[in-house]
Structure 1
Amino acid sequence: MDGGASRTAMMAAGGRAAHLVVDCAPYLFEDTMASRLLGEQAEELIGYHLQFGDHVVLSGTRAQVNARSSYTEHRVDTGFTQYVILGAGLDTFAYRSPLARQIAVFEVDHPATQQWKRELLMAAGIDATAARFVGVDFESDDLAAEVAAHGFNQAAPALVSWLGVTMYLTEAAISAALTVLGTFAPGTELVLEYALPPELRDESGCAYAEFALPATADQGEPWLSFFTPEALTDLLDKHGFTVAEHVSQRQAVAPELWQRTDNLNPADLCRLVRATVRD
């Protein structure tokens, strides 16, 4: 972090923005707001993808962030009136999607990261009131109390997304958060991204991990947690969730979107799990 700026948030937003410039149609996901939100950083980040876009980490990042966003935002449009984005970073759903005018969107992140995002929104002339900013230090703050203080209705089911975060946390920290999320209203749905252990990765996932994991560790953000689908199912079950499905990157979008003329390919390094809070 540099004064609140999140490197991982910039890389994710850069991957979504670059996808529409570097890769060919059909697009996995169309984040038409990411480049605008990145402001002065957009040209540099997209330029890097244009120059080195076939590298396994850059192409892998574009595939990962766009596939997971596509899957998750499709889940928003299934009748929920509340959407909680944990580790929101530079997510643009609230400022881009027509659905955001019909539901309450809660962006949960560290206060310093949120201040940085507010500054980017202001600089881009984007209305920040489209989302409710819930500043939370996960080490010390009460997540349930904080979202309730911002108008979250704990009696109504919500969609909760938790993307690009759990691999940086210990299992104890993940378990603590799931304890809170498990108290949300029955029918609340969680879409969580998790990293696979080495023995379950495919060739593309191994290649991505070989480059990316040492780089993030060198930058002070090592990957700490890895789960088999079975182990994560057990953990979620213990916290009151019933798992509906585990989704690979290939499965996260329609099959025809992987019939491509560019070098964008799915990798099995991280997966999504969709689970529901039980009655």
Structure 2
Amino acid sequence: MRDAHPSQTAIMAAASRAAHLVVDGEPYIFRDTLAATLLGGQAEELVGYHRVHGGHIVLSGTRAQVTARAAYTERRLGDRFEQYVVLGAGLDTFALRRAPGRPPTRVIEVDHPATQQWKRELMAAAGLTTPDGPVFAPVDFESGGLMSALREAGLDPGRPALVSWLGVAMYLTEEAVAATLAALGRLPRGSELVMEYALPPGLRDERGAEYASFALAAAADRGEPWLSFFAPDEVSSLLKQHGLEVVEHVRQAGCVDPELWRRQDGLRPADLCRLVRAVVTG
């Protein structure tokens, strides 16, 4: 969010998760059944745009990206962790979709204060405000203060947490990425991080390069340019430097069962961004 305007990145990601259930056929990669509800009056227009232009690589590529990364991360969460920290949560709906009766998980959403206020308003308008909803921890990633914000939000320093950091790092400077990882390295031993990062041009596949040729320019035009790009070995080195041990790097194609990519529609994986899963060892 810039200049108190809603984050276009958060809106587009939520719209893409909602559109996946309307535009793309089964098998679904990920089911976000509340994204459209949270978007409220904007949902019809945004999903309608996917209906009309959904075959364009930016729209189909974004649907593939946001659904694959969410599916991987929420599968990793499962019932393994009692604490789930969502960095740059935007319009994430996990805390609102949790099935009744599943083991309790404390969900802490970290984002810019203005983004969180906007989300609160959307939740209230949609009737999605519940006692079991997310705990909000306001943070500006470029300014720091992550750990103090998590403590104030009730993070238990004695229990491991899963941290998801999806669709955020590419919008930050390398210095801000490193500072955030330094903070996460102080989480309890056994905590895990799932982080999405963008590849530099020479490491992208053909579809990733085509997607980037449209998406990066569009992001810059809306005032949210991509600022950092990392090779996998650079990410591994940075994580190790801050007390996190890499378990795996995951291409978009590997985020879900390969059978889910055997599709009749135009949804295809691209190698532009990857996920890395790492464990706090300190």
The alignment's TM-score, normalised by the length of structure 2, stands at 0.96
Choose which of 120, 123, 126 in structure 1 pairs with 2:125.
123
In the other structure, the counterpart of 2:200 is: 197
CA shift for structure 1 position 78: 4.5
In the other structure, the counterpart of 1:232 is: 235
Query: Comparing 178-187 with 129-138, which one deviates more in the overlay?
Result: 129-138
1:206 and 2:218 correspond: no
Count of aligned pairs between the two proteins: 279
Instruction: In structure 1, give the amino acid aligned to 2:112.
Output: H
SS at match of 2:197: strand
Instruction: In structure 2, give the amino acid aligned to 1:65.
Output: V
1:219 and 2:222 correspond: yes
In the other structure, the counterpart of 2:273 is: 270
Instruction: In structure 2, give the amino acid aligned to 1:31.
Output: D
SS at match of 1:58: helix
Aligned partners of 1:254, 1:78: CA distance in 2, in Å? Answer: 20
In the other structure, the counterpart of 1:94 is: 95
In the other structure, the counterpart of 2:157 is: 154
In the other structure, the counterpart of 1:82 is: 83
Aligned partners of 1:51, 1:41: CA distance in 2, in Å? Answer: 16
Instruction: In structure 1, give the amino acid aligned to 2:232.
Output: P
SS at match of 1:227: coil
CA shift for structure 1 position 193: 0.2
Aligned partners of 2:175, 2:142: CA distance in 1, in Å? Answer: 11
In the other structure, the counterpart of 1:64 is: 65
Instruction: In structure 2, give the amino acid aligned to 1:25.
Output: E
SS at match of 1:108: strand
In the other structure, the counterpart of 2:115 is: 113
In the other structure, the counterpart of 2:249 is: 246
Instruction: In structure 2, give the amino acid aligned to 1:106.
Output: I
CA shift for structure 1 position 140: 3.2
1:103 and 2:113 correspond: no
SS at match of 2:211: helix
Structure 1: unaligned runs, 5 residues or longer: none
Aligned partners of 2:262, 2:42: CA distance in 1, in Å? Answer: 31
CA shift for structure 1 position 154: 1.3
CA shift for structure 1 position 98: 2.1
Asked if the contact 1:171–1:225 (Cα under 8 Å) also holds between the matched residues in 2, the reply is yes
Instruction: In structure 1, give the amino acid aligned to 2:281.
Output: R
Structure 2: unaligned runs, 5 residues or longer: none
Question: Which whole-Å deviations, capped at 9, do the CAs of 1:80-124 have from their partners, x for residues lacking one?
Answer: 000000000000000002287611000000110000000000000
Asked if the contact 1:161–1:190 (Cα under 8 Å) also holds between the matched residues in 2, the reply is yes
SS at match of 2:264: coil
Aligned partners of 2:130, 2:168: CA distance in 1, in Å? Answer: 23
1:137 and 2:152 correspond: no
Aligned partners of 1:238, 1:193: CA distance in 2, in Å? Answer: 18
Asked if the contact 1:182–1:277 (Cα under 8 Å) also holds between the matched residues in 2, the reply is yes
Choose which of 141, 156, 176 in structure 1 pairs with 2:179.
176
Instruction: In structure 2, give the amino acid aligned to 1:210.
Output: S
CA shift for structure 1 position 79: 1.3
CA shift for structure 1 position 139: 3.2
Asked if the contact 2:164–2:195 (Cα under 8 Å) also holds between the matched residues in 1, the reply is yes
CA shift for structure 1 position 141: 4.6
Asked if the contact 1:122–1:128 (Cα under 8 Å) also holds between the matched residues in 2, the reply is no
Asked if the contact 1:194–1:271 (Cα under 8 Å) also holds between the matched residues in 2, the reply is yes
Question: Which whole-Å deviations, capped at 9, do the CAs of 1:207-245 have from their partners, x for residues lacking one?
Answer: 100111111112221111111111100010000010000
Query: Runs in 1 of length 4+ with deviation above 6 angstroms?
Result: none
Aligned partners of 2:188, 2:57: CA distance in 1, in Å? Answer: 41
Aligned partners of 1:50, 1:140: CA distance in 2, in Å? Answer: 39
